[in-house]
Amino acid sequence: MAIVTGSGSGIGRATAKLLASYGAKVVVADINPTTAKETVDDIRANGGAAVDVEVDVADDACARKMIDAAISSYGGLHILHNNAAAMGDVIANDGTVADMDAAVWDRTLAVDVTGPMLAIKYAVPHMIEGGGGSIINTSSAAALVGDNRGSAYGVAKAGLNALTIYVATQYGKQGIRCNAVSPGLVLSDHVRSVRRPEDLAVAEETHLTTRLGRPEDIANVVAFLASDESAFVTGHILRAEGGYLVHTPWLGRYPKPD
């Protein structure tokens, strides 16, 4: 039994579909009920089990309702993937600190940090009762480097990394693991719609892999962290960013050596 937030599209949708293909019964949670239903329909069309829940993860009552939906639908909860993030106008207006709109800052932290905290708060008792579980948070490489935009997002994801470590510490002895996956640039439909082709070209140039990331790449990492194959992994921030944080910053700008 699994919950995936922000699973109406992108990484969340890819993860929900993958977990369902492995036999998990999935709660597809998203603030957009239309896209959530599309994900559910896709899962069911392929023989999987899923229900959709409309949720604003930053709202306490919504978070509780989401967890309750998993328990009432499937009788328990073993996997929680906190993937939802503030998008749309919020992320579009997330710039430098000196120009920061406090409302953008507050909403970003509410969705990206408070949202996962609330989901974990209500999920943990059920996971303990069921013998344990795996919590996976979608962080970002933006938590590990600076940028000239996206200040609230980077700070929020850094906070999510800290939350991951604290949850792993507090509930590990009760059978709960908590990890985070830290993607780089992932070519979701949203990214394709907001990033200029020249920006994507620079990104591809500075990655060490032969291509940019896909939602399915991150879904595979989440599935690993959710499975018993990662039973000895907890409190870990797993970078899945195509190696662009590995090398010296000018490497991508110079011809490759013979």
Q: Please report the DSSP string for 83-123 in residue order.
A: -----THHHHT---STT--HHHHHHHHIIIIIHHHHHHHHH
Across residues 1-14, what is the average pLDDT? Answer: 97
Q: Bigger pLDDT: 252 or 60?
A: 60
Which of 30-34, 43-47, 148-152 has the least mean pLDDT?
Answer: 148-152
Is pLDDT at 258 greater than 60 in this prediction? no
Give every CB contact of residue 242 below 8 A, 6+ residues apart in sequence: 184, 185, 207, 208, 209, 212, 213
Q: Bigger pLDDT: 150 or 188?
A: 150
pLDDT value at residue 158: 98
pLDDT value at residue 256: 61
Band of residue 255 on the pLDDT scale cut at 50, 70, 90: low
Band of residue 200 on the pLDDT scale cut at 50, 70, 90: confident
Which of 45-59, 130-144, 182-196 has the least mean pLDDT?
Answer: 182-196
Residue 152: which H helix or E strand, with range?
helix 151-171
Alpha-carbon separation of residue 96 from 18, 101, 190, 237 (angstroms):
36, 10, 22, 25
The one catalytic residue among 74, 153, 171, 244: 153
Band of residue 191 on the pLDDT scale cut at 50, 70, 90: confident
Pairing relationship of beta strands 176-183 and 133-138 according to DSSP bridges: parallel
pLDDT value at residue 16: 98
pLDDT value at residue 189: 76
pLDDT value at residue 206: 83
pLDDT value at residue 130: 97
Across residues 148-166, what is the average pLDDT? Answer: 96
| Helix 151-171 / helix 102-109 crossing angle, nearest 10 deg | 30
pLDDT value at residue 187: 86
Backbone angles phi, psi at 46, to 5 degrees: -100, 15
Is pLDDT at 253 greater than 90 in this prediction? no
Q: Which of 31, 163, 7, 10 is nearest to 90 (CA)?
A: 31
Taking all residues of the chain, what is their mean pLDDT, rounded to a whole number? 94
Across residues 1-5, what is the average pLDDT? Answer: 98
Is pLDDT at 252 greater than 80 in this prediction? no
Contact (Cβ atoms closer than 8 angstroms) between residue 8 and residue 28: yes
Q: Which two tokens stand for residue 225?
A: 């962290």
Across residues 12-36, what is the average pLDDT? Answer: 98
Mark whether 166 is an active-site residue.
no
Alpha-carbon distance of 125 to 121, in angstroms, equals: 8
Band of residue 244 on the pLDDT scale cut at 50, 70, 90: confident
Q: What are 51's strand-pairing partners?
A: 27
pLDDT value at residue 197: 85
Across residues 134-148, what is the average pLDDT? Answer: 95
